[in-house]
Structure 1
C-alpha cells in the first residue's frame, strides 16, 4: 500500500506548509491582539477628548447656556448632568482614561470615574448598537465649583474577524504557498532522487556514467563525489575479479584438452568412461566460467528484437538437439536488447528446465507493458527458502543440482545478470501442480514502439 509520508519530498512539503501556517496563525493572533489593544486605546483617547472638550466648553460658557450645551451633547452619546445628586454603582475603569483626564484637566480638579453597564447609560449612536448600554460616568467640578456628571457611551463591539475579501485572499495565499513549498521540496530532494537513480542504474549496469558533480550545496557535492568514488572502486574490484576468473578459466582449457586426449589411452573402459565424465564436467564448468566473465564485462550493443521469433528459434534448436521442449503463445512485441545476450539468457532457463525437470514448456505473452517468457519444467520444484539462493554463483541444491546432473551453479546467475541489464527480472515459482515443478518467468520491458 502506497504511503505518501514515505516520501521525503512529501514530508518536506508538509513541514514547509505546516510551519508557515503555524507561523501565520501565530502572527495573525498577535496582530489581532495588538489590533484590539490599539482600538481600545483609541476609543479611550477619543472618550477622554470628548469629556475634556465638554468640560472646557462648559467652563467657558455662561451658566444660563450650560443646559442648552448639555442637550446638544446628549444627541451625540454624551449626557451631561449639571445637578448630580445620586451616585452610581459600578467598577473603577482602566487607569489609562483616568491618567489621561487628570493630565488634560489638571491634577487639582476633583475627578471620580465609574465604569458601568445599565439602562441609564446613553445609547451608542455608531454603526453597531450595543446589546448592553456601556458608559463611563465622570464626576468632576467646573472652575466655578459647579458639580457635574458626564456619562459617555462606549463602543465595545468587537471588530469582525474577516472583512471584505479576506477568505478569497487567504485561499489565494495558501494556493501560492503550496506551489512554492512544493517547488522548494522538489528542489531540496532532487539530489537524493538523482543519487537513488544512479544507485539503481549502477546495480544493473556497472559501466553506468558517474554522477555529474554540478555546482550546488556542499553536502550534495560531497555525496556525489563519494558515490562516484564508490562506483569506481566497485568497478575496479569487479573488473579485477572477472579478469582473474576469465584468465584462470581460459588457461585451464589447454591442459584439460591434453588430459582428455591422454584419457583415451586408458585401457580400462569403465575407468576411462568415469574419468572422461569427470573431465567433461570440469570443462563445462570452465566454459560457464568464461560465459559468466563475458556476461559481466561485455557491453553488447542493443537493437530491436522480435521476442517471439527469438524464443521459437531457440526452442526449435533445442528440439533438433533431442531435448523435450514445447512452445506456444505469441506476444507480437519487440524489445530493446542484445540478441546474443537474450539467447544466452533464455537458453540457460530452458537448459535448466530440461536438465532438472526432464522437459520444458515455453510460452510467450504480453502483460502490463512487458513481454513474459515462461519456462515450466516437470521436476520436483525448489524449496521456497532456496528460490533466491539459486541465483548465487556456484550455488547448487544437494538433491537436484549435483555434479552427476552436470550443473555448475552459474546458469541462473548469468540469466539474471542479462535480465537486469535489460531492465527486466527473473521470477521463480513452484507450480504446486502434479507433474509440474518450477516455472521461471523472464520479464522484459517492451520497446517504446509497442
Structure 2
C-alpha cells in the first residue's frame, strides 16, 4: 500500500510539475518576462556607466567587468552602422531599453534560429556598445532553476507522504495482520490494534475482535462438549469392561475386551484431534533429542524396533506437547503400517530443522500421499492392509501440529524401500511464536 500510494502521488506531482513548466514556457514565449527585465536593467546600467566615464580607459574597465559577470558586450570605435530603426517586438530587450529606459538604440536585430538578440547603442560620437544577449540560454537557466526547485519540493513531499502512509496506514495494517496471524496460531491471544489508524482499518479491527470473540466462544463450547463426551462415554465403557471380565467363556470375553479396547482407542484418537491444548500450549525451549528418545523408548519398551539416530543435543523453541504428539503419531504410523524397524532422525537444515521418520514397509502410492493427511481417510490398502482400527486421524494431527509452528510434513519413498516422513520446523516462526 505504501508503494502504491507513493507511486500514485509521485506520478501526479511530477505530471503537475511538468504541466506547470510547460505553461510557464508558453507564457514566457508570449509576453514580457522578469528575466528580460533584469537583463534590460543590467544593460541600461552598463550603458549609463560607460556614458559617464571620463575617458576610454575607464569605459573599457567597465566593459571588462561586465564581461566578467557573464555579459557579452564590446566597446567599438566609431558610430554604429545603419540598421533597423522600426519598433522592436514586445518580447525584446531593445523594447525595454527604448521605451522603459528612454535610451537611443541605434541598431537591434534578433536571430530567431539561435534566439540571440543583438543591440547597438551609441555612447559617444566616436564609439558605441554592442550587446549580444543569448535569450535561449537565459530561458533554460531559469527553467533549470525553477524545475530543480520543483523537483526538490516534490521529493520532500513524497518522502513526507511515504512516512505518513507508513505510520498511519501500512503500520496499522501490519499490526492488524500480526493480530490475525497470532489469533490463527493461538486463539487465546488477546492482542488488538492499539495505535491510531484510519477509520476503515479500525472497522476491520473491530470486526476481527468480534469474530475472535465468537470463535473463542465456539471453542469453549466445543471444549465443554468434549469434556462431557469423555465423561459420559468413558464411564459406560469402564462398566462394560468390568462386566466383560466376568464372562466365563474365554473366547467371548477376549473378543469383547478387544472391541472395547478398540472403541477406547478410537475415542482417544478423536478427542486428541479435536482438543485444543496442543494449540494453546506454551512455547518453550526444549531439547529435541531428549524428547525424541523418550518417544522411541516408549515404543521400544513394548517390543517395537524403534530407534533414534541424530545429535545428542539440539535445543529448539516449540510447543513440546504438539511436537511430541506429531512425532509419536508418525512413529506409530510407521510401526503399524511399516516393517520391523523405524528410525527417527534429526538434523539442522537451511531455515530450520527436519525430523525424519523412516520405516521399511510397503510405502504409500504417490497419488495418496496428500490424501492420507485428510481427517478420517484410511489408506490401509497401500500399507499392506494393517491397522484397520482407528479413524485415520494420526497423520492429520501430526500435520496440524507441524503447521501450527509454520512447518509442514511431506511423505517420500525411501531409497532402500519403505516410507520417509519429513517433519520440517522453520526457524523464522520462533521469534513470532514467542513474542
Tell me which of 178, 184, 206 is aligned to 2:164. Answer: 184
Picking from 35, 42, 49, the partner of 1:39 is 35
- Which residue number in structure 2 is paired with residue 66 of structure 1? none
Number of residue equivalences:
391
Does the 8 A contact of 2:338 with 2:361 survive in 1? yes
User: Is the alpha carbon distance of 1:322 and 1:403 closer, same or farther for their aligned partners in structure 2, counting shifts above 3 Å?
Assistant: closer
In the other structure, the counterpart of 1:349 is: 330
CA displacement, residues 273-322 of structure 1 (integer Å, 9 cap, x when unaligned): 55443332211011123333444477444433111112112212211111
Q: Give the secondary-structure state (helix, strand or coil) at the position aligned to 2:296.
A: helix
2:352–2:424 contact (8 Å) kept in structure 1: no
Match of 2:270 in 1: 289
Indicate the residue corresponding to 1:381 in structure 2.
Answer: 363
Give the root-mean-square deviation of aligned CA atoms. Answer: 5.0
Q: What SS does the corresponding residue of 2:390 show, helix, strand or coil?
A: coil
Aligned equivalent of 2:379: 397
Alpha carbons 2:74, 2:131 under 8 Å: kept: no
Deviations 1:341-391 (A, max 9, x none): 443332122112211223421011123353322111233434445444444
Whether the 8 Å CA contact 2:309–2:346 is kept in 1: the answer is yes
- Judge conservation of contact 2:346–2:356 (CA < 8 Å) in 1: yes
Q: Which whole-Å CA distance do the structure 1 matches of 2:232 and 2:160 have between them? A: 64
Change (3 A) 1:179 1:333: farther
Q: Which residue of 2 aligns with 1:436?
A: 418
Give 1:189 shift.
0.8
Structure 2 CA distance for partners of 1:171 and 1:21, relative to 1, 3 Å: closer
1:29-81 alpha-carbon deviations (Å, 9 max, x no partner): 44555566443577689999999x9xxxxxxxxxxxxxxxxxxxx9779x988
TM superposition shift of 1:439: 1.5
Instruction: Name the CA shift for 1:386/1:200 in 2 (closer, same or farther; >3 Å).
Output: farther
CA distance in 2, matches of 1:370, 1:337: 12
Which residue of 1 is the match for residue 201 of structure 2? 220
Match for residue 315 of structure 1? 296
Q: Find the partner of 1:409 among 392, 397, 405.
A: 392
Larger Rg: 1
Unaligned residue ranges in structure 1 (runs of 5+): 1-7, 54-73, 106-112, 119-129, 138-149
Q: 1:184 to 1:386 in 2, by over 3 A?
A: farther
SS at match of 2:133: coil
Q: Is the 8 A contact 2:356 2:422 kept in 1?
A: yes
Structure 1 residues 218-227 or 436-445, which shifts more?
436-445
Residue 185 (structure 2) pairs with residue 204 (structure 1): yes
**Secondary structure in structure 2 of the residue aligned to 1:10:** helix
Give unmatched runs, 5+ long, in structure 2: 49-72, 102-106, 121-127
What is the TM-score of this pair, normalised by structure 2? 0.69
SS of equivalent residue, structure 1 residue 396 = coil
Equivalence map 1:32-111=2 (5 Å):
37-40=33-36, 94=89
Give how far 1:397 is off: 2.7
Offset at residue 442 of structure 1 (A)? 4.1
Task: For 1:254 and 1:436, locate their aligned partners in 2 and report how far apart those are by CA, in whole Å.
Answer: 41
